[in-house]
A and B are shown apart, each in its own frame.
Chain A
Amino acid sequence: MPLLFFVMVISLFPMALGVEPHLLARLAPAIIWVAVVLALLMSLDNVFKSDYQQGALEQFVLSPYPLSLLILGKSIAHWIAIGLPLLLLAPLFSVLLNLPFAGVGVLWVTLLLGIPTLSLIGSIGAALTVGLQQGGLLLAILVLPFMVPIVIFAASGVAAAGNGAPFYSELLLLAALLLLTLALGPVAISFALRVSIE
């Protein structure tokens, strides 16, 4: 479902902007990254929802194994279900949006580094809002500000690559953010989940 949404958002842009290739090429990194964020937000709303409703979260919390490891496992599963297909689809769409060829590879790397970061950050929000009414909308409001740096670095990296400018520093910053969230994200998520099931 989030993937279908991703496809539709992306195809909406040429319809709204017109099909002028230069314009599309210039906007392509932004369009793809905004669509990725929106698609992830949609999927994140459901990461913990059914587990919460069925009581599986209580069992996770009561497991003698560290909760953050179980959560990391869940995040990996989420990445396989959502992140991987987005990775596979994105190059296709960058061609549709006329992104210069040099940009495609960099786009791919930014997605590889950025999507797990976004989904871990989003999972913190999802863990805080699970079980609340209108959790979905609140989730978006909570996590969007936190997603700003990743979107900035990723989109500017791709744009730089498309213009033939250096882009390594952006990629390194994305990698740093990924490592940071990998280390701290699961811990924050497990705190949040313990609070949410009280």
Chain B
Amino acid sequence: MSILCAALMLYGFFSGLYLAPADYQQGDGFRIIYIHVPTAFLSLAIYAFIALNSIIFLIWQIKLADILAKESAIIGALYTFIALISGSLWGKPMWGTWWIWDARLTSELILLFLYLGYIGLRSAIPEERRSGKAGAILAIVGMMDIPIIHFSVEWWSTLHQGPTLAKFAKPSIANEMLYPLLAMILAFALFYVVILLFRLRIEILKRNFHTQWLQQWLGPKLRGPE
């Protein structure tokens, strides 16, 4: 356990140092993509990760997969939220309005609802095993539904607005701008992994609080409440 802890700490330092130099950019409006794109991309990737872990948990009953899914959800929701806010901030100078019912933003909003629903369901079920299984079913159904939702939203937005805005995205990107973006995506991904590992450790400790090995390990360090 202490080895795992040390490894975690090293990992945390590593990614923290990695993240900092990538973050020194400032100024012009477009630079917000360094926040927006990684969070938006990861918000979806994390949901897929949750669904994958849910499948693993349902089939092989591996508790670790359940904990991974549960602890990922809150970070995923946070990233989704950041993506929405940054998208909206980006929209102000670009489109002249804080919010536009653009297909991607709308999908992102629905993704946030999916995350919040998942978190809500998990926290509403007091019992761990049941909460895990119910959440897993929801996440898997959600994963199957995301492409449908995304498709329907695209359909809907092309119906309601001219194609001008849809065409807006993706000017070819210069290498000097691309590399920091890739670095930021990696940094955000690592940040997610580090936070996830921290939360994972806490959750494992919580769930195994009653076990003997943990009591022995904690014994000298814990005082007061038992």
- Please give, as numbers and ranges, the residues of chain B lying within 8 Å of A144 by CB-CB distance: 113
Restricting to A49-106, which residues have a CB under 8 Å from any CB of B?
Answer: none
Interface size classification for chain B: 20 to 34
| Closest residue of A by beta carbon distance from B150 | A149
Query: Are the CB atoms of A128 and B137 closer together than 8 Å?
Result: yes
CB contact between B152 and one of A134, A153, A191, A196 (< 8 Å): that residue: A153
Task: Let me know if A112 is at the binding interface, CB within 8 A.
Answer: no
Partner of B116 from the list A141, A152, A153 (CB cut-off 8 Å) is A141
Contact check: which of A124, A132, A149, A177 meets B141 at CB < 8 Å?
A: A124
**Which residue of A141, A188, A191 is within 8 Å of B120 (Cβ)?**
A141
B159 neighbours in A (Cβ, 8 Å)? 156
Q: In whole angstroms, how far apart are the Cα atoms of A144 and B124 in the complex?
A: 18
Bound CA span A156–B160, Å: 10
| Residues of chain B in range 94-140 having any CB-CB distance to chain A below 8 Å | 110, 113-114, 116-117, 120-121, 124-125, 127, 129-130, 133-134, 137-138
A108 to B110, CA, bound (A): 27
Given A146-B145, A156-B156, A198-B130, A141 and B117 contact (CB-CB distance below 8 Å):
yes
Residues in B with CB closer than 8 Å to A192 are 134, 137
* B residues 185-216 in Cβ contact with A at 8 Å: none
Tell me whether B218 is interfacial, beta carbon within 8 Å.
no
Chain A residues near B114 (CB, 8 Å)? Answer: 145
A:113-144 near B, CB below 8 Å: 124, 128-129, 132-135, 138, 141-142, 144
Q: Is the CB of B137 within 8 A of A191?
A: yes
Q: Give the complex CA separation of A153 and B154 in angstroms.
A: 11
Q: Which of A142, A146, A184, A188 contacts B121 (CB 8 A)?
A: A142
Q: A156-B159, A196-B134 are in contact. Are A145 and B149 (CB under 8 A)?
A: yes
Q: Chain B residues with Cβ under 8 A from A188's Cβ? A: 137, 141
- Supposing A128-B134, A133-B124, A196-B134 touch, asked if A142 and B117 sit within 8 A by C-beta, the answer is yes
Interface: A195 (CB within 8 A): yes
Assess whether B120 is in contact with A153, with CB atoms less than 8 Å apart: no
Contacts of A141 in B (CB 8 A): 113, 116-117, 120
Select one of B113, B127, B134, B148 contacting A149, CB under 8 A: B148
Interface hits, A174-198 → B, CB 8 Å: 177, 184, 188, 191-192, 195-196, 198
- Is B151 part of the contact surface with A, judged by Cβ < 8 Å? yes
For A128, give the chain B residue with the smallest CB separation: B134
Distance between Cα atoms of A153 and B159 in the complex (Å): 11
Q: Which residues of A contact B153 (CB under 8 A)?
A: 148, 152
The reply to whether B124 and A129 form a contact with Cβ atoms under 8 Å apart is yes
Q: Is B179 on the interface with A (CB-CB < 8 A)?
A: no
A177 to chain B minimum Cβ distance, whole angstroms, is 7
Q: Which B138-168 residues sit within 8 Å CB-CB of chain A?
A: 138, 141-142, 144-145, 148-149, 151-153, 155-156, 159
Question: Within 8 Å CB of A177, what residues of B?
Answer: 148
A145 and B134: CB pair below 8 A?
no
In the complex, the 4 A-B pairs of residues with the closest C-beta atoms, listed nearest first: A149-B152, A195-B133, A142-B117, A145-B113
Other A-B pairs beyond A128-B134, A152-B155, A195-B134, 16, CB < 8 Å: A124-B141, A129-B121, A132-B125, A134-B124, A138-B120, A138-B121, A141-B117, A145-B113, A145-B149, A146-B142, A153-B155, A177-B148, A188-B137, A192-B134, A192-B137, A196-B130
Give A contacts to B, CB under 8 Å. Answer: 124, 128-129, 132-135, 138, 141-142, 144-146, 148-149, 152-153, 156, 177, 184, 188, 191-192, 195-196, 198
- B residues with a Cβ closer than 8 A to A are 110, 113-114, 116-117, 120-121, 124-125, 127, 129-130, 133-134, 137-138, 141-142, 144-145, 148-149, 151-153, 155-156, 159
